[in-house]
Structure 1
Amino acid sequence: MARVQTKSGGGSRSKVQIPQVPWDQVRAAPVVLVSGPESFLADRAIQAVRSEMREMSSELEVHDVDAAAYTSGELMTIASPSLFAEPRLIRVSGVEKASDAFLEDAKRYVAETAEDTTLVLRHASGQRGKALLDLVRSGTGNGIEVVCAEVKKDADRLAFVQAEFRRLGAQATPGAMRMLLAAYSGGLGELAGACAQLVTNTGSRITEDEVERATEGRVETNGFKVADAATAGKAADALVLLRQALSTGVDPIPILVAINMKVRAMARVYGARGASGQLAKELGMAPWQVERAQRELRGWTEEDLARCVDAGAETEWLLKGGSRDPEYALERYLLRVARRGRDR
């Protein structure tokens, strides 16, 4: 059943009257709109459509169209019936930069789609092509939409890693996944590659030891070791770890990010009541993240946490150009966290 949503923006309101499916549940349809800025998930979705159609017919014809460089009539020519009526997949990239000719032809095509043909429209962001998107979302063309929103939250990245290991037939401990996220804080493609490499090298059971060996030397892993010592109140240990990391050329920013993540997790959990599973859903965290933050909160007050959250924001500004000595700013913040929000 189609999930109907109302979207608003810029004073206008429109209804989405086609199914909106997750990237890993995409299926072939007359029109598949792949929207949103997360290119890795979009590529995965488009590849899944091709794989499904290829399984259905080895005679599948695949055509790639650049919407920005499109010339009038091209889409109709590709979609016109052939002598042997092979199924077709037409993949259109860059719809957010489409030429006027493409937008006009695409609207005509969606109003009367060709048989045995799937048109995939990739639209990353922006208002260009909105009329075409609204037409597809209205139900014209009997399409579906795959929304590939940018993955930013820790909980969403964790869910992605969990899904990757399931897809690869492997299991990883919570600590191993946490270390992996810390070590690969870039794009999802890099993270997916790391998951696949771990499974290839170590098998279907992934522990913290395997991740530590695989990520040895990555700067973000060091950041979490520093953060663990700081939130545990081990000021001297945290300072030694920080100086060791900085002396080997580690950038201060990933270390700051690691400390801030832990402090903010503690602030979110502070005062919350209930089982870790229930709190995880309410707070957008994993159960193990909730449990760890609860353990680390011992000895902290709400005022302590508030001071550290403010100090973390100030330190971020200092590290991004507000100070001539970012390493000193990070040391000062580290000690404040280790001393439960107090300067001394």
Structure 2
Amino acid sequence: MTDVPPLVLISGPEQILAERAAASTIALLRESDPEAELIRLEAATYEAGELQLHTSPSLFGGSKILLVRDLDEGREDLIADLVGVVGAGLSDATLIVLHKGGVRGKKALDALKKAGARVIDAPAIKSDRDKSAFVTNEFRVAGRKVAPDAVRALLEAVGKDLRELAAACKQLVDDTEGLVTAEVVARYHGGKVEATGFRVADAAIGGNLPEALRLTRHALASGLDPVPIVAVLASQLRQIARVATAGRGGSGQLAKQLGMAPWQVDRARRDAQGWNGERLGRAIQAVAAADFEVKGGGRDPVYALERAIMTITAERNG
């Protein structure tokens, strides 16, 4: 027997979490009945009466798993059929419904909840703090440990898309052994041009103009647009300002207060050395001007980016 109820609602916009929840629910059901028939229904192509057809008792017996995807995109036929099936009750079938959010399909959502459906949340993961926690958990579930600086390196190298992060974590789990360090991440992902923007920012904020310009020109030659480099510069300068004005406290405490990851707090504290409020303010203003120019407000985006870098390093060095 399984403890999965006949009705399961997976609600939220983060698709990788929703798909994992659906897959794990199906796996649990098939532990008790390996022959359970899986029927997938897409809201966009649903035809009236399909749910009733698939939930009616079969002459040959056997249980069914009905997976309804993207209820929030469904037409009235699907909403009405779902309300009807839920109200009539299910026999030898489990209904799993995925809904990305919003008010569309509310009548069906209310019917599912009123009937006692198990609700599994798939909330959006947007903040760097939450994405750091996601990466850390990927390794924990796989029985591996990952260093905090490796989490940072992975986010910087791979980007913020959860699917890409999950795939990168799996590759590192499959291809390496022991503690996953920043050096290990760099060996597998450090060559990606996305990572270069963060190295440019590290060099510029640290006051190393030759290295910042060398990395910038390498990034541009590799095909990276000036816009994301400016965005990283702006983000890291703002983090320095936020952490510097947040007062004292442990990294974890400030991270929670500021919506950042603990490693970001540690980095901002380290980067803040050598800066004061006035020079940091001028650097932020220079990056804001560069942001306007690289997004179409100026004639030469590359010149705007390099000028911002020169201003940052000059302010850092006093």
Give the equivalent residue in structure 1 for 2:122.
148
How many Å separate the matches in 1 of 2:93 and 2:308?
Answer: 59
Of residues 174-183 and 34-43 in structure 1, the stretch that sits farther from structure 2 once superposed is: 34-43
- CA deviations on 1:222-241 (whole Å, 9 max, x unpaired) are 11111111111222321222
Instruction: Kindly indicate whether the alpha-carbon contact (under 8 Å) linking 1:151 and 1:157 is maintained by their aligned counterparts in 2.
Output: yes
Aligned residue number for residue 166 of structure 2: 192
Query: Which residue pairs with 2:275 in the alignment?
Result: 300
Matched-pair contact (CA < 8 Å) for 1:185–1:220: yes
Residue-pair matches, total: 315
- 8 Å CA contact 1:169, 1:204 repeated in 2: no
Greater shift, 201-210 or 306-315, is seen at 306-315
Task: Give the match for residue 240 of structure 2.
Answer: 266
Equivalent pair of 2:64/2:93 in contact (CA under 8 Å): yes
**Counterpart check, 1:64 vs 2:40:** yes
Which residue of the partner structure matches residue 217 of structure 1?
191
Letter in 1 for 2:195: T
* Separation in 1, partners of 2:93, 2:124: 29
**Is 1:38–1:149's contact at 8 Å kept on the other side of the alignment?**
yes
Q: In the alignment, is the contact (CA less than 8 A) between 2:72 and 2:101 conserved in 1? A: yes
Q: Which has more helix, going by share of residues?
A: 2
Moved more, 187-196 or 243-252: 243-252
Question: Which letter maps to 1:132?
Answer: A
Gaps of 5+ in 1: 1-26
Where do 1:1-344 residues align within 5 Å? 28-83=4-59, 85-136=61-112, 139-271=113-245, 272-340=247-315
Higher mean displacement: 54-63 or 244-253: 244-253
Residues 258 and 59 (structure 1 numbering): CA distance in 2 closer, same or farther, change over 3 Å? same
CA contact (8 A) 1:220 1:258 kept: no
| Percent of pairs with identical residues | 42
TM-score w.r.t. the length of structure 1 is 0.84
User: Residue 122 of structure 1: CA displacement?
Assistant: 1.7
Aligned partners of 2:180 and 2:153: how far apart in 1?
A: 11
CA contact (8 A) 1:69 1:99 kept: no
**Aligned partner of residue 71 in structure 1, secondary structure:** coil
**CA positional deviation for 1:85:** 4.6
Q: Which amino acid aligns with 2:116?
A: N
For structure 2, the 5+ residue unaligned runs are none
How far did residue 299 of structure 1 move? Answer: 2.6
Maintained 8 Å contact 1:31/1:142 = yes
State whether residues 219 and 251 of structure 1, in contact with CA within 8 Å, keep that contact through their aligned partners in structure 2. Answer: no
Q: Residue 237 of structure 2: SS of its match in structure 1?
A: helix
Q: Is the 8 A contact 1:30 1:141 kept in 2?
A: no
Structure 1 residue 173: deviation in Å?
A: 1.3
Letter of the aligned partner of 1:121 in structure 2?
V
Q: Secondary structure of 2:34's partner?
A: coil
Contact 1:62 1:90 in 2 (8 A): yes
- Look up the SS of the partner of 2:116 in the other structure: coil
